[in-house]
Structure 1
Amino acid sequence: MTTTASPARPAPVVDPARWPDVARVPHVPLRAALAGRLLHRAAARRGLRVELPDGRTLRPAPADAPVLRLHRPGDFLHRIGAGGLIGFGESYQAGDWDSPDLVALLTELATAPETLVPAGTQWLRRLHVRRPPTAELPTAANAPRNIHRHYDLSNDLFALFLDPTMTYSSAVFPVGPGPVPLVTRDALPAAQHRKIDRLLDLARVGPGTRLLEIGTGWGELAVRAAARGARVVSLTLSEEQLLLARRRIADAGQAGRAEVRLCDYRAAEGAYDAVVSVEMIEAVGRPFWPEYFATLDRVLAPGGRVALQAITMPHDRMLATSRTYTWILKYVFPGGRIPSLRAVEETAAHATRLRVVRADAFGPHYAETLRLWRERFTERSAQVADLGFDEVFRRTWEFYLAYSEAGFRSGYLDVHQVLLAREGVGP
């Protein structure tokens, strides 16, 4: 079957000093041949439309099928043969392939990913699966460097695609159960406030509440908690976030009620009526989950409550990938690890007096949040370039945002708001 060839997107200029593994194309003929066979199989089983540079398709596919448009098939297959899913991401960074609807393609691939490889050949993962580097394990010594690599990129960068609340976590939209309909960009600030207020309500934050926030972001939760009359101490390891959060808190007139400290969660001091932490547990790392929950228990005053927002994944998938080095860890969130809800429950039960009292899931809301961020990031690519970020960086973040959105649309990922308390403290 033939089609009209689509114009190839020019390959980005890759700085080998900044992007060594994107600049280098591995040469692994046997593995590349195997990757080619797996590509044929995935195209057939998932109904993908794989378009070749000359306009032909790899195999017949419906016109509305998700599209994988190959610009340099050889480089693409050698990268996947050498690096598996990391190589798949690096091939996008390098411009070896594109898709007119990246989210649709990645959503299809993220649905039941274990079926992409034939039964009986799972052992092939050992050819390219790596363990996370020791230098990226989120110890007290390494954590500031990990955080710096993502959150200290540039406050101006994040301001380009986040809404005016500067909230970098899932919003909660005003919809009922079931799929979340497409929402407009102007709905995002109110949806972010709805998420924050829901967490503060779970923790029963009000006048006089002593509140500890672990993971400041850019200060919006601290501002809203202080406006309720709470006394807020917020901890961050990001120097960029620290400076802007302090300024935003002062501009909101809440400097007397909210204090931001450059401090690791392990060094938290004091006693608090409530602890809130929004999508920070993902940076803690599985070996350190017991210490994280022990810290929550240690600083929580009698009768206190903990409200967490956490990205989660199914428990079996978490176990299968818990020691695997992934593209996201390599290029976006070094040291991170997504828990399952069961892991949260079991770790809290084994390491602390805290118990999960309530857990509410809203993964479809995150998919919509990410769509709005992704569209805004893409629209403002010229402004991202003006900030000094090269095209490989922009393709990296396009892929990261689309990859994450696909995770939530496929059900591979979820997000929960979780209330924890000691025995005798009700919901």
Structure 2
Amino acid sequence: MTPETTGDTATQRSSSRWGQIAKAPRGPVSAVQGRIAAALLRRAVRQLPIRLEYPDGTTLGAADPTLPTMTVHRPDAFFARVGRYGLIGFGESYMAGDWTSSDLPALLTEFASSVDVLIPPALQRLRPLAVVRHPRSMHNSPAQSRRNIADHYDLSNALFAEFLDETMTYSSALFDTTRPEWPDLADGQRAKIDRLLDAAGVHAGSRVLEIGTGWGELAIRAAARGAHVHSITLSTEQRELARQRAHTAGVADRVHIELRDYRDLDGRYDAVVSVEMIEAVGYQFWPTFFQTLEKLVLPGGRVALQAITMPHDRMLASRNTYTWIQKYIFPGGLLPSVEAIVGITERSTRLRTVDMFSLQRDYAETLRLWRERFLQRSAALAELGFDDTFQRMWELYLAYSEAGFRSGYLDVYQWTFAPTGGRT
């Protein structure tokens, strides 16, 4: 089965944004901001195991040529963007080709491990004064949530098929490091799904709710156990391919997939599962999300999530910050912290943690494999209509995410809850 692409892809809809990075900021204020950004980068390079190269051959930082190197091709444009727009400008400058790296994930890992080096504490305290105002896309009302999901997941099934494995699973795998052929991505994805279904107690006859269908692999594997699966998504493209895959797998009679918001659900289920969907819920709606899970799971049932987390202090800062990831990759998204999830579930629901299992190292490897395949498919992606700017944007997104897990800045958990507590 070959995934189809739509004529009106999200890359066509978003191509108008490329005009925002065609020209770097200019003027006296931008020049001053650029000089400040250049000084901060030189300061960071002196303290990190990285190298910085300029077009005239000047090299700053460590002498070891094997260390990650950042090559700035257009210094004036690069520093003007970073000075004016901060980390959004940093990402846009990569999209524009202002800089490249000999080892992008390793470079970003060093940056992610050293936030205090990049931005001195004195300047971090001024961050609220420089926050870019959140656009309307950050408020995940039901209608806006559907638009936000479409902006990423409806890019086209063909795009994702180019770099995902045969399971079409777009979340962290779980690798068996004892096997000599490790890492096998498809096997790792199946192992991840099976572990989550085990944690949720899914077996023959189970009534299962899946929030966030993806392209259907979890629903298919749950149905293969004899479970009856109700799966919801806000992505039209994902729903259509997931339905086809369930039919091909011979489990369509036990898998019901529909376009629906989690807030519109009724009924009770033996197990509620959701893989890396909470990241799209939005900070304001986290209590609503967990209260909905509590309402939908039967007494004695289980809720099993796979959730990416970030440090609590960074989450508190990020909830009021408009980021490059939110602007170009996941509009409306925000990663929760462990503390936030525990606090919300204990204050607002009867859900209590019964198990947590980290896949941090596995996600770094998953992202490495995705990025390598994405880069290998450059010509095919271009034929699908995804231009150089889009491809640089996604290369940065995949490398940035990999760096987050390798540095320990990000984590990801399979997190199991039971409705056993009392509300405080």
Using structure 2 for the length normalisation, give the TM-score.
Answer: 0.93
- Map of 1:6 onto structure 2: none
- Map of 1:10 onto structure 2: none
- The answer to whether the 8 A contact 1:16-1:22 is kept is no
2:361 pairs, out of 359, 364, 376, with 364
Counterpart residue type for residue 81 of structure 2: R
- Map of 1:388 onto structure 2: 385
1:210 pairs, out of 196, 207, 211, with 207
**Identity score, percent:** 57
Cα distance in 2 for residues equivalent to 1:371 and 1:181:
18
Q: Give the superposition deviation at 1:424.
A: 7.6
Q: Give the superposition deviation at 1:323.
A: 1.4
Q: Give the superposition deviation at 1:254.
A: 0.4
Q: Give the superposition deviation at 1:181.
A: 11
- Map of 1:3 onto structure 2: none
Cα distance in 2 for residues equivalent to 1:226 and 1:131:
44
Deviations 1:333-363 (A, max 9, x none): 0000101112111111112111111111120
Judged with a 3 Å threshold, the aligned counterparts in structure 2 of structure 1 residues 36 and 45 are, in CA distance, closer, same or farther, namely: same
- Map of 1:135 onto structure 2: 137
1:161 pairs, out of 160, 163, 166, with 163
- Aligned: 1:144 with 2:141: no
- The answer to whether the 8 A contact 2:137-2:331 is kept is no
- Aligned: 1:246 with 2:248: no
- Map of 1:175 onto structure 2: 177
- Aligned: 1:282 with 2:279: yes
Cα distance in 2 for residues equivalent to 1:306 and 1:325:
31
Counterpart residue type for residue 220 of structure 2: V
1:55 pairs, out of 42, 54, 57, with 57
- The answer to whether the 8 A contact 1:315-1:342 is kept is yes
- The answer to whether the 8 A contact 1:16-1:23 is kept is no
Judged with a 3 Å threshold, the aligned counterparts in structure 2 of structure 1 residues 287 and 182 are, in CA distance, closer, same or farther, namely: farther
Counterpart residue type for residue 335 of structure 1: G
- Map of 1:325 onto structure 2: 322
Cα distance in 2 for residues equivalent to 1:156 and 1:396:
18
Cα distance in 1 for residues equivalent to 2:241 and 2:70:
40
SS in structure 1 of the partner of residue 416 of structure 2: strand
Q: How many residues align?
A: 406
- The answer to whether the 8 A contact 2:215-2:239 is kept is yes
- The answer to whether the 8 A contact 1:206-1:230 is kept is yes
Judged with a 3 Å threshold, the aligned counterparts in structure 2 of structure 1 residues 200 and 73 are, in CA distance, closer, same or farther, namely: same
Judged with a 3 Å threshold, the aligned counterparts in structure 2 of structure 1 residues 424 and 331 are, in CA distance, closer, same or farther, namely: closer
- Aligned: 1:266 with 2:268: no
Counterpart residue type for residue 132 of structure 2: R
- Map of 1:8 onto structure 2: none
- Map of 1:11 onto structure 2: none
- The answer to whether the 8 A contact 2:49-2:61 is kept is no
- Map of 2:104 onto structure 1: 102
Deviations 1:274-327 (A, max 9, x none): 000000000001110010001101111121100000001111221122211110
Cα distance in 2 for residues equivalent to 1:215 and 1:284:
11
- Larger deviation: 129-138 or 192-201? 129-138
Q: Give the superposition deviation at 1:68.
A: 0.6
Judged with a 3 Å threshold, the aligned counterparts in structure 2 of structure 1 residues 25 and 181 are, in CA distance, closer, same or farther, namely: farther
Cα distance in 1 for residues equivalent to 2:361 and 2:329:
22
- The answer to whether the 8 A contact 2:81-2:89 is kept is yes
Q: Give the superposition deviation at 1:409.
A: 0.3
- Aligned: 1:352 with 2:354: no
- Map of 1:22 onto structure 2: 21
Deviations 1:198-225 (A, max 9, x none): 0000000001000000000000000000
- The answer to whether the 8 A contact 2:176-2:182 is kept is no
1:399 pairs, out of 396, 404, 416, with 396
Cα distance in 2 for residues equivalent to 1:120 and 1:149:
37
- Map of 1:9 onto structure 2: none
- Map of 1:44 onto structure 2: 46
Deviations 1:8-41 (A, max 9, x none): xxxxxxx983413211311201111101110110
SS in structure 2 of the partner of residue 218 of structure 1: coil
- The answer to whether the 8 A contact 1:158-1:166 is kept is yes
- Map of 2:290 onto structure 1: 293
Larger helix fraction of residues: 2
- Map of 1:408 onto structure 2: 405
Q: Give the superposition deviation at 1:121.
A: 2.5
- Aligned: 1:193 with 2:195: no
Judged with a 3 Å threshold, the aligned counterparts in structure 2 of structure 1 residues 60 and 300 are, in CA distance, closer, same or farther, namely: closer
Counterpart residue type for residue 210 of structure 1: R
Cα distance in 1 for residues equivalent to 2:198 and 2:102:
42
| Structure 1: runs of 5+ lacking an equivalent | 1-14
Cα-Cα RMSD: 1.8
- Map of 2:221 onto structure 1: 224
- The answer to whether the 8 A contact 2:351-2:421 is kept is no
- Map of 1:316 onto structure 2: 313
Counterpart residue type for residue 250 of structure 1: H
Judged with a 3 Å threshold, the aligned counterparts in structure 2 of structure 1 residues 182 and 344 are, in CA distance, closer, same or farther, namely: farther
- The answer to whether the 8 A contact 2:214-2:238 is kept is yes
- The answer to whether the 8 A contact 2:138-2:282 is kept is no
Counterpart residue type for residue 106 of structure 2: A
Deviations 1:26-72 (A, max 9, x none): 12011111011101101101132111112221355322222110100
SS in structure 2 of the partner of residue 19 of structure 1: helix
| Structure 2: runs of 5+ lacking an equivalent | 1-13
Q: Give the superposition deviation at 1:127.
A: 5.6
SS in structure 1 of the partner of residue 143 of structure 2: coil
Judged with a 3 Å threshold, the aligned counterparts in structure 2 of structure 1 residues 317 and 126 are, in CA distance, closer, same or farther, namely: closer
Q: Give the superposition deviation at 1:116.
A: 1.4
- Map of 1:84 onto structure 2: 86
Counterpart residue type for residue 64 of structure 1: T
